[in-house]
Structure 1
Amino acid sequence: MNKLTGVLLAVTATLGVLGCSQQNDREVAQDIDAQLQHSVATAPISEQLPHYLERDIKDEVFYFVMPDRFYNGDRSNDLGSANKPESYGGFDPSSKGHYHGGDMRGLKQKLPYLQQMGITALWMTPIMRNQAVQGDSSGYHGYWVLDFTEIDPHLGSNQDLIDLIDAAHALNMKVFFDIIANHTADVIKFKECHGENGDQWLHKTPGLCDYKSKAQLANGDAYTVFVPEGKEHLKVPAWLNDPKYYNNQGDSMWHGESALYGDFAGLDDINTEHPDVVTGLIDVFKDIVTEFKPDGFRIDTVKHVNLEFWQQFSPAILAHAKQQGIPQFFMFGEVYDGEPKNLSKFVTEGKLQSILDFAFQGAVYRSLIDNQGSDELAKLFAQDSLYNGEYGDASTLVNFTGNHDMGRFAYMLNAKHPNMTEAEKLARIKLSNALMYFSRGIPVVYYGDEQGFVGDGNDKDARQDMMPSKVASYNDDDLLGTNSTTADDNFDQRHVLYQNLVSLANIYGQHKTLRHGVQQVVYSQSTPGIFALTRTDDQYQYLFVANTANTEQAVDLTMTEQDYQPVVRAEDKTESAGIININLAPLSYAIYRSKR
């Protein structure tokens, strides 16, 4: 038995006692973080869960990663493909807007690092072949797709992708692709904006072609559309090269009809109302499922596509995946909106199984960064019934606290409270992680958060390198919980936040009710302080209690169940006559379990 396995078994055994024993609190309660502080503990819960093909989505812990910024496993592909000039170049490790060299082989090498953190599902930003350079930046992020049949050569070959998926599956981990149906790379030009050859800028507003409405088009006020010479056949499949399959109405203003029909920052907006496009895109993604056998899709820019498209797309892809032997195939959409009433319609009407819960992210921000009441969480969960429908409900929403677009949770915390101590920042991050893991929904760890990454903002400023970075604006960051910088190799399994996620994953993996149980909020308040919920199934009820204040808090809870045993112990707890009194240290949480 190696050291890591021995530590894992010790932690697992302790958690089993905490979850099942009827001994009193003093005998069984353990502080998991303290237990792990002297050794590298791991949490390969994927080894304890059902086989990936049979596993319910509620059992997953996602890791959201930008492959180019993770690990370089093959330096020969850093420049892309010389045989395809449109997908060659754009490599500059010193620039935050260009390729840095991470690839599929690098991800494959680091799968044990992820598995030992308790990750069960890898979600990658788009990996299909991109236009390498647009303007003064490159397609390192993957959202400028030209070819939907092969991966970007900067990331490796199709076989490298298959090898990664096979290796993940061998570890009982899943792999999810990030896909785009809203747009392709920017190839189509308008003479009124881009000149006769497509290489000028004639418009008064830099980088923006005024949006032309449907009414304007009906009156003959349209752009002169063309594809520059030599670029007529860049896109694959070939039908995507025909401008008639695009809206060609100028740039989106992010509201009104332009949000559906305008170009997303200049990217060619696909006309997803055209019946040929609906059929064509369904076939595109069916082929991807057939060839690579991913376990699901995260779908980009969902709200910028008409709802009727998703109503056809989602059932068709799910049915095809089942035919391909992937019965638990799962799709969740990106709807960048913080209101459940707006998010939920893509589940109830759009027939998507789930969406990224931006509303959850907002509630955690207000509770732990903006110092509003813990009832911000209660207000969120009170709207969960909005998601109930044939294809999904709130129990499968995908929770997160920060991402590649809005920035990291640590950055938001730092920006709001620049003088806060590092200890308090770490405590707030740990509590945000606990809320993400133990509230209804599926948790997502954004790559680098486990290493204390902070960043200077959103977008490019939140896309640091895990491998040693050469970007000056990354390397001057003061990372949390470490003396390292992003100029170092950041795969430290002893990092306090990595170990925090290990402890959360061990609890999450050992206690099924915390993943599948029905949630009910039992306490919140209008000021920072106690927030409590239960997760209940036909065998157990778990009580999760968090303190969002930076002072000790006490609460009396009237509970229907009795004899709650500790999973994670509060500072103090007494129980009598159906009343539980809990004292919680600042910015901490506790979990207790009772038999039904």
Structure 2
Amino acid sequence: MKKALMTFILIPVLLFYAYPTEAAEKEGRKWQDETVYYLMVDRFNNGDTDNDYEVDTTNMEAYQGGDFKGIIDKLDYIKDMGFTSIRLTPIFDNAENGYHGYWVKDFYKPDEHFGSMKTFKKLVKEAHKRDMKVMVDFVANNVSTEHAWLNDTEKKGWFNPENGKGQRAWTDGLPDLDQSNPEVRNYLVDAGKWWIEESDIDGYFLDSAQNVPADFWTDFSKEMKKTKSNIYLVEDTGGADTKQKAGIDASIDYKLMDPMRQAFAKPDGNLKAVVTGEDFSKEKAFNAARILDNQDSVRFTKDAVDQNQHPGTRWKLALSYLYTVPGVPVVYYGSEIALNGEKPPENSKLMNFKTDKDLVDYMTKIGELRNQLPSLTRGSMDVLYAKDGMAVYKRTYDNETTVIAINNTAKSQDVTLTSKDLEKDKELRGLLSDDMVKSKDGSYKIVLDREEAQIFVLAPKSGLNIPYLLSMAAVYAAFFVFIFILLKRARKKKQNN
């Protein structure tokens, strides 16, 4: 009885200090609501040793054994960190040592090192059971040097000239497809539709989109969306932006990648540059896919290590920013364990799941907040303070306001916000740690320790929520009436015995 009573008493206390009861609600699910975990299939997890063809873990240029089964086995691991989508490197059949997936030999077959079509379909199905989307990199610019088309005289007109005269030069020595050729165009469009129809995938990241004519992407986008209306198409362009004309939903924002890395690799990095360096009021900012590193770059962890910094701390601050500004975070696998590495292939080591959970736990927490608070994915953004390594900004959606404070300096910082910044006579409740900032004389004084971030939600002041107190009083009254009746019945039963 005592245990039940204590549990009952604690329930309203916990509810009172949870998220605000007037939290905003999201209607439907948009691209900007996603949080994407990007993994290289061969380097993530080996779940089926039966397909370990040509695997050599001593050679980073060879296959390492990751496969579809390995991803299926870790879907809960990915979802538990708050990710809503997974992005896979190309899964099509590749040339020898094409572990990365970009040397395509056959657009209609999964690579034998990764598993069967049946297993891939199971991967998509299992992801959907967990309300997760599956997106695949689609290579439309080139094929492998071992592709059979190169020796097919009937396919001679499928390629641009190797020397690039009057045409685009081959990229990285790979045979460059001529998408102006109707046969090439139809083949690629049909392949894209086939994978959607066969496996029910949810989107494509379009590799080297800037090297492919925009009118091809217009046709491609139109046909993909006929096949599946809610398909996501994201261009991975390395700088160019063709989606305005081509019907593509979003692009990776590479312009902010280097400023982010420079700002967060060490203390006192310039946060002002990353919170004011882009117009976050435009729709384009909300749809931008944002990255700190990827399969082509040096790992962000190396930036921190080169500055003699603890990578875990650097990652926490960087992720706090990445998850709370307008845009869609695309996090490369291994970031949750601060995986280190130089340029390819050293940046794509086999994943290690037996590591310190501190950073995993932090990513899980901010992922949870991003999924629960619509203001963090759809809210407008206003910078309230930005100086050197300290920044404070707010996100507002309907009746929900969150305030993000990041102290990327080597000493404690305090910032005072006024009624011009936030509605007065409320309080800021810290969600990453136990912190409370009450309005005093219409102002809020935020104090952060060195190298620390906090996400606050603006809420009514504690202790003054009269409707809440009345409802709790009614609940308590009903509970004690219930206890009284139980005790009365127990006494009566004892007397009768």
Q: Is 1:334 aligned to residue 334 of structure 2?
A: no
CA distance in 1, matches of 2:236, 2:302: 21
Query: Cα RMSD (Å) of the superposition?
Result: 2.9
Counterparts of residues 315-330 of structure 1 (less than 5 Å): 315-322=222-229, 328-330=230-232
Aligned residue for 2:245?
A: 349
Matches within 5 A, 1:260-339: 261-322=168-229, 328-337=230-239
2:51 alignment partner AA: N
User: Match for 1:275: what amino acid?
Assistant: P
**3-state SS of paired residue (2:406):** strand
SS of the aligned residue for 1:20 comes to coil
Q: Does 1:430 align with 2:316?
A: yes
Instruction: Give the Å deviation of 1:498.
Output: 0.9
Contact kept, 8 Å, 1:574 with 1:582, in 2: the verdict is no
Alpha-carbon separation, structure 2, partners of 1:565 and 1:336: 39
- Match of residue 406 from structure 1: 297
Structure 2 residue corresponding to 1:542, chosen from 402, 422, 428: 402
CA distance in 1, matches of 2:410, 2:404: 18
Question: Of the candidates 254, 270, 280, which is equivalent to residue 373 of structure 1?
Answer: 270
**Higher normalized contact order (CA 8 Å, seq sep 6+, divided by chain length):** 1
What is aligned with 2:428? 565
Q: Percent identity?
A: 25
Match of 1:501 among 345, 363, 369: 363
Q: Return the match for 2:119 from 157, 160, 168.
A: 160
Matched, 1:465 2:465: no
Of residues 88, 92, 95, the one that matches 2:56 is 92
Superposed displacement of residue 464, structure 1: 0.5
The 8 Å contact of residues 127 and 155 in structure 1, kept in 2 or not, is answered as yes
- Which of the numbers 161, 172, 186 marks the counterpart of 1:248? 161
Instruction: Report the CA distance shift for 1:495/1:250 in structure 2 as closer, same or farther (over 3 A).
Output: farther
Distance 1:16 1:153 in 2: 54
Could you tell me which residue of structure 2 aligns to residue 172 of structure 1?
131
Query: With structure 1 as the length reference, what TM-score do the two structures score?
Result: 0.69
* 1:572/1:166 CA distance change after superposition, 3 Å: closer
In the alignment, structure 1 residue 57 sits paired with structure 2 residue 31 = yes
Cα distance in 1 for residues equivalent to 2:192 and 2:16: 42
TM-score after normalising by structure 2: 0.82
Gaps of 5+ in 2: 1-9, 461-497
Rounded Cα–Cα distance in structure 2 between residues aligned with 1:178 and 1:121: 13
Per the alignment, do residues 430 and 372 of structure 1 end up closer, same or farther by CA in structure 2, a change over 3 Å counting?
closer
CA distance change for structure 1 residues 567 and 329 in 2, over 3 Å: closer, same or farther? farther
Out of 240, 258, 262, the residue aligned to residue 362 of structure 1 is 258
Instruction: Look up the equivalent residue of 1:565 and give its one-letter code.
Output: L
Q: Are residues 1:107 and 2:107 paired? A: no
| Residue correspondence of structure 1 range 451-490 to structure 2 within 5 A | 451-455=337-341, 457-466=342-351, 490=352
Give the number of aligned pairs. 443
- Aligned in 2, Cα 1:574/1:55: closer, same or farther, shift over 3 Å? closer
Instruction: For 1:129 and 1:512, locate their aligned partners in 2 and report how far apart those are by CA, in whole Å.
Output: 40
Question: For the Cα contact (< 8 Å) 2:280–2:381, is it kept in 1?
Answer: no
- Paired with 1:308 and 1:183, the residues of 2 have a C-alpha distance of 17
**What's the CA shift string for 1:484-535, capped at 9, x where partnerless?**
xxxxxx224861111111111221222122122122222212x22x212211
CA contact (8 A) 1:369 1:412 kept: yes
Give the drift of 1:578. 4.0
1:31-84 Cα distance to aligned partner (Å, 9 max, x none): xxxxxxxxxxxxxxxxx999xxx63223322111111111112222121xxxxx
Q: Which has the larger radius of gyration?
A: 2
The answer to whether the 8 A contact 1:126-1:177 is kept is yes
Task: State the Cα deviation string for residues 403-432 of structure 1 (Å, max 9, x = none).
Answer: 1111221012223x1x33x3xx32121010
In the alignment, the residues of structure 2 paired with residue 305 and residue 435 of structure 1 have an alpha-carbon distance, to the nearest angstrom, of 32
CA deviation after TM superposition for structure 1 residue 357, in Å: 1.8
The CA distance in 1 between the partners of 2:270 and 2:356, in whole Å, is 33
Q: Distance in 2 between matches of 1:187 and 1:248?
A: 17
Post-superposition, which runs of at least 4 consecutive aligned residues in structure 1 deviate over 4 A?
13-16, 569-572
1:74–1:105 contact (8 Å) kept in structure 2: yes
Q: Does the 8 Å contact 1:513/1:540 carry over to 2?
A: yes
2:336 to 440, 447, 450: 450
Report the counterpart of residue 372 of structure 2 in structure 1: 510
SS at match of 2:301: helix
Q: Which amino acid letter does the alignment assign opposite residue 227 of structure 2?
A: H
CA distance in 2: counterparts of 1:515 and 1:168, whole angstroms: 22
